[in-house]
């Protein structure tokens, strides 16, 4: 007889909740552990995760090539000796072993069936990367979502409108699962602007008394502007208590002023869900250290960095059954936040994500992140904050230029003045001359995908690819 795996029999929930306490218990348990206790817990989970990883062909190949053998790694102190890997290695594994790659540790020919769910990376170009989640993977992610929401003030019966796109990319559905299972709040899944037009989103917010918004800052800013400038309504009167976002380099103060609510930063990925979240003190995102070990290292030398020094984040998971990550180079740029957090937790905190290492453009010897340009654009109230960078080769000598297109806030804005001021500001802040082009509001939408996807495109690279 066929065995059909049942989700609620696939996990010992009591046991799982003891190891990964959901909120509110988390706030008095693992969140408050001392450094010693936390380290002991991480050591134990790390060695189990290593054991699991050695069962997986991807790691056998990757580590074998570096001469590593099972048993070489005896504690977290040895972590830095493990070769890191990045998205390119996952793509390679997918093309060698279609359709899911050999990094999952799952063999449908021989394994007992288990309930699986598939989501993908947000991929803005080409086929997105698929990822399958086992029940324990998904459930720990949901617990972490619930913790993050609690830390950011969400309580039962709150109404959370999720304006992330609902489809293959993980963000929207993962938010729904975590809100529903572990926060007591009600998820309202309006999705991106392509799924529910912005004006309808706003009507729903008013009618159903939304208390929190989850989305990307660019779209939330756009929504606020539509409300204020087109519908002549004050977003602050909605009583939105918080905006739960991946802040990146977006400007927190102007977003908070627009909506009259708090803006809380979160660091999450499709492979891991939430890795870190700000508490109500807004002092940087506390890593969920019972679920992850993060490193921040110099992008070239791989040397670990101290507080305030920017480098790339390496992720190691402590709970995953399928596709555990051991030293995954995320290409995300951040830094450790210094000082202590008044909330009392000693869980490490990261600063905002400053950009992606692989999104970097080298222009006449200067490294430029499109996100850093975005941060400058939001300084100018004459713009609505929408922008896109186009980099291209302009002559046969290989000279490269970047043009930054910026949307004006409305039709009456003096575009020439905005271009002039922003060009000066970019030169001053980035040390390199860029061409600025101001355009009408909404004109960049087709290029950035602002109202159709939740992952907004900020760079178009027209240079010949090597």
The site for Zn ion (CB under 5 A) is made up of 279, 281, 341, 343
As measured in angstroms, the least distance from the Cβ of 283 to Zn ion is 6
As measured in angstroms, the least distance from the Cβ of 148 to Zn ion is 12
Q: Look up tokens 């993050």; give the residue.
A: 148
Using the minimum distance from each CB to Zn ion, give the nearer residue, 129 or 349: 349
As measured in angstroms, the least distance from the Cβ of 67 to Zn ion is 41
Using the minimum distance from each CB to Zn ion, give the nearer residue, 336 or 405: 336
As measured in angstroms, the least distance from the Cβ of 332 to Zn ion is 21
As measured in angstroms, the least distance from the Cβ of 337 to Zn ion is 10
Instruction: Name which of 153, 98, 91 is nearest 125 in CA terms.
Output: 91
Instruction: Name which of 192, 189, 153, 187 is nearest 24 in CA terms.
Output: 153
d(CA 372, CA 362): 13
As measured in angstroms, the least distance from the Cβ of 177 to Zn ion is 25
Using the minimum distance from each CB to Zn ion, give the nearer residue, 247 or 326: 247
Q: Are 395 and 433 in contact (CB under 8 A)?
A: no
Instruction: Enumerate residues 6+ apart whose C-beta is below 8 A from 235.
Output: 223, 224, 227, 228, 258, 259, 260
Instruction: Name which of 187, 245, 247, 185 is nearest 215 in CA terms.
Output: 245
d(CA 319, CA 52): 10
Using the minimum distance from each CB to Zn ion, give the nearer residue, 330 or 345: 345
d(CA 197, CA 296): 39
CB-facing half-sphere around the CA of 234: CA atoms within 13 A: 6
3-state secondary structure of 359: helix
As measured in angstroms, the least distance from the Cβ of 154 to Zn ion is 16
Using the minimum distance from each CB to Zn ion, give the nearer residue, 146 or 374: 146
Q: Are 23 and 145 in contact (CB under 8 A)?
A: no
Q: Residue ranges of the alpha helices (H) in 304-414? A: 370-377
Strand partners, 273: 269
- 238 token code pair: 């909605």
Using the minimum distance from each CB to Zn ion, give the nearer residue, 27 or 423: 27
Using the minimum distance from each CB to Zn ion, give the nearer residue, 284 or 385: 284
d(CA 316, CA 127): 25
Q: Are 337 and 349 in contact (CB under 8 A)?
A: yes
Using the minimum distance from each CB to Zn ion, give the nearer residue, 233 or 341: 341
As measured in angstroms, the least distance from the Cβ of 282 to Zn ion is 9
d(CA 328, CA 154): 31
Using the minimum distance from each CB to Zn ion, give the nearer residue, 277 or 389: 277
Using the minimum distance from each CB to Zn ion, give the nearer residue, 218 or 279: 279
Strand partners, 438: 406
Using the minimum distance from each CB to Zn ion, give the nearer residue, 131 or 149: 149
- 404 token code pair: 């930054």
As measured in angstroms, the least distance from the Cβ of 342 to Zn ion is 7
Q: Look up tokens 């799924």; give the residue.
A: 195
As measured in angstroms, the least distance from the Cβ of 21 to Zn ion is 17
Q: Are 407 and 444 in contact (CB under 8 A)?
A: yes
As measured in angstroms, the least distance from the Cβ of 280 to Zn ion is 8
Instruction: Enumerate residues 6+ apart whose C-beta is below 8 A from 86.
Output: 328, 329, 331
39 burial type by CB count under 10 A (0-12 exposed, 13-18 middle, 19+ buried): middle
């Amino acid at each position: 007889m066929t065995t059909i795996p049942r989700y609620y029999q696939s996990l010992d929930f009591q046991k799982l909740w003891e190891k990964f306490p959901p909120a509110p218990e988390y706030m008095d348990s693992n969140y408050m552990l001392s450094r010693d206790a936390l380290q002991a817990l991480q050591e134990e989970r790390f060695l189990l995760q290593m054991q699991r990883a050695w069962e997986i062909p991807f790691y056998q190949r990757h580590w074998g090539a570096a001469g590593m053998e099972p048993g070489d790694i005896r504690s977290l102190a040895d972590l830095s000796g493990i070769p890191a890997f990045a998205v390119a290695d996952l793509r390679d594994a997918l093309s060698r072993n279609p359709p899911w790659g050999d990094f999952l540790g799952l063999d449908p020919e021989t394994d007992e069936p288990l309930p699986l769910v598939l989501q993908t990376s947000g991929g803005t170009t080409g086929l997105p990367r698929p990822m399958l989640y086992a029940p324990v993977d998904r459930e720990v992610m949901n617990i972490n979502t619930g913790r993050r929401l609690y830390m950011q003030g969400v309580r039962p019966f709150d109404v959370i409108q999720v304006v992330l796109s609902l489809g293959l990319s993980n963000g929207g559905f993962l938010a729904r699962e975590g809100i529903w299972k572990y926060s007591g709040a009600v998820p309202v899944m309006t999705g991106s602007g392509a799924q529910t037009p912005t004006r309808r989103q706003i009507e729903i917010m008013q009618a159903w008394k939304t208390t929190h918004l989850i989305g990307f800052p660019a779209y939330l800013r756009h929504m606020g502007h539509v409300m204020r400038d087109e519908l002549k309504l004050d977003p602050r009167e909605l009583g939105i208590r918080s905006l739960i976002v991946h802040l990146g380099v977006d400007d927190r103060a102007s977003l908070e002023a627009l909506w009259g609510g708090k803006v809380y930063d979160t660091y999450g990925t499709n492979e891991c869900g939430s890795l870190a979240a700000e508490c109500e003190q807004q002092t940087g995102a506390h890593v969920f250290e019972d679920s992850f070990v993060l490193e921040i290292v110099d992008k070239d030398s791989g040397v670990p960095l101290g507080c305030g020094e920017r480098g790339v984040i390496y992720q190691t998971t402590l709970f995953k059954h399928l596709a555990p990550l051991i030293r995954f180079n995320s290409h995300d740029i951040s830094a450790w936040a210094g000082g202590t957090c008044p909330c009392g937790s000693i869980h490490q905190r990261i600063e905002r994500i400053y950009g992606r290492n692989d999104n970097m453009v080298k222009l006449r010897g200067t490294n430029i992140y499109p996100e850093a340009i975005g941060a400058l654009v939001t300084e100018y109230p004459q713009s609505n904050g929408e922008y896109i960078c186009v980099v291209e080769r302009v002559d046969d000598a290989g000279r490269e230029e970047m043009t930054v297109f910026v949307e004006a806030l409305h039709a009456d804005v003096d575009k020439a003045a905005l271009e002039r001021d922003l060009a000066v500001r970019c030169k001053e802040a980035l040390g390199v001359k860029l061409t600025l082009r101001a355009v009408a509001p909404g004109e960049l939408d087709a290029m950035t995908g602002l109202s159709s996807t939740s992952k907004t495109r900020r760079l178009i690279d027209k240079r010949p690819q090597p």
